[in-house]
């Protein structure tokens, strides 16, 4: 992934709307060292609106990603359809803050050499759009794995003998003497 591919040079943009589009795939998430997203096929559309002192960035991300199923660990496709709405403020201050009145996230950038790195925004919004539980539809999980899960193999914690023979068992004897 070319890191400059996702930079928007805000100082150099003309007034009005500037529209860009790009595809995001597996390599994008690998560059963030994200082991959770196995594959991706996403379309990212960005509209930058510049008018006087106001700069707004609307980013629509749609497509699908593959992540490990929480049940069987086989890849499961998750649809992604999310939107990032940003207002850019120039000058002192750092970080991003939500503006509930406008429904936008405020991003502060230095006035000189102001570039917005959309790669981090895209990554964050895709990860936040994923559901907390990621499983195949009923009957879609790996049959071999499900056979083991449904067999009712008992899962137990450490036995009393295991705790006595643990690495700190010697320390327990010190306190007893």
Q: What is the average per-residue pLDDT within 100-120?
A: 80
7-63 pLDDT, tens digit each:
888 877 888 898 989 999 999 999 988 778 999 999 999 999 988 888 899 999 999
Burial profile 59-81: b = 16 or more Cβ within 10 angstroms, e = fewer = bbbebebbbebebbeeebebebe
Tell me what percent of the residues of the chain surpass a pLDDT of 90.
39
pTM of this prediction?
Answer: 0.74
Count of domains in the chain?
A: 1
Residue 149: what are its φ and ψ, rounded to 5°? -65, -35
Q: Is residue 150 part of a domain?
A: no
Q: What is the pLDDT of residues 66-94, one digit of tens each?
A: 999 998 999 999 999 999 999 888 876 65
114 is in which domain, residue-wise?
3-141
Identify the pLDDT of residue 93: 60
155 lies in a domain? no
What pLDDT was estimated at residue 167? Answer: 64
d(CA 164, CA 146): 35
pLDDT of 49? 92
Residue 151 located in a structural domain? no
The sign one gets for the Cα dihedral 117, 81, 60, 44 is positive
Rounded to an integer, what distance in angstroms lies between the CA atom of residue 29 and that of residue 126?
Answer: 10
Residue 162 domain flag: no
Q: What is the mean pLDDT of the chain?
A: 82
pLDDT for the residue 108: 84
35 lies in some domain = yes
Does residue 133 form part of some domain?
Answer: yes
- Is residue 148 included in any domain, yes or no? no
- The pLDDT tens digits of the residues spanning 145-161 come to 888 878 766 655 556 66
Q: Is 32 exposed, middle or buried (0-12, 13-18, 19+ CB in 10 A)?
A: middle
The pLDDT, as a whole number, for residue 175 is 60
Report the Cα 173 to chain-centroid distance in Å: 48
In a domain, 154, yes or no: no
Q: What is the mean pLDDT of residues 112-131?
A: 89
């Amino acid at each position: 992934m070319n890191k400059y591919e996702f930079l928007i040079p805000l100082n150099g943009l003309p007034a009005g709307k500037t529209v860009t589009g790009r595809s995001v795939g597996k390599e994008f998430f690998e560059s963030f060292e994200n082991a959770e997203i196995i594959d991706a096929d996403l379309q990212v559309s960005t509209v930058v609106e510049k008018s006087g002192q106001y700069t707004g960035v609307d980013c629509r991300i749609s497509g699908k990603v593959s992540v490990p199923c929480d049940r069987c660990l086989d890849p499961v496709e998750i649809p992604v359809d999310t939107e990032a709405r940003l207002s850019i403020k120039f000058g002192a201050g750092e970080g991003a803050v939500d503006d509930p009145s406008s429904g936008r996230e405020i991003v502060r950038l230095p006035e000189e050499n102001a570039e917005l790195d959309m790669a981090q925004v895209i990554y964050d919004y895709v990860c936040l759009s994923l559901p907390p539980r990621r499983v195949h539809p009923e009957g879609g999980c790996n049959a071999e794995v499900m056979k083991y899960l449904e067999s009712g193999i008992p899962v137990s914690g450490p036995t009393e003998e295991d705790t006595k023979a643990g690495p700190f068992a010697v320390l327990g004897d010190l306190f007893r003497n």
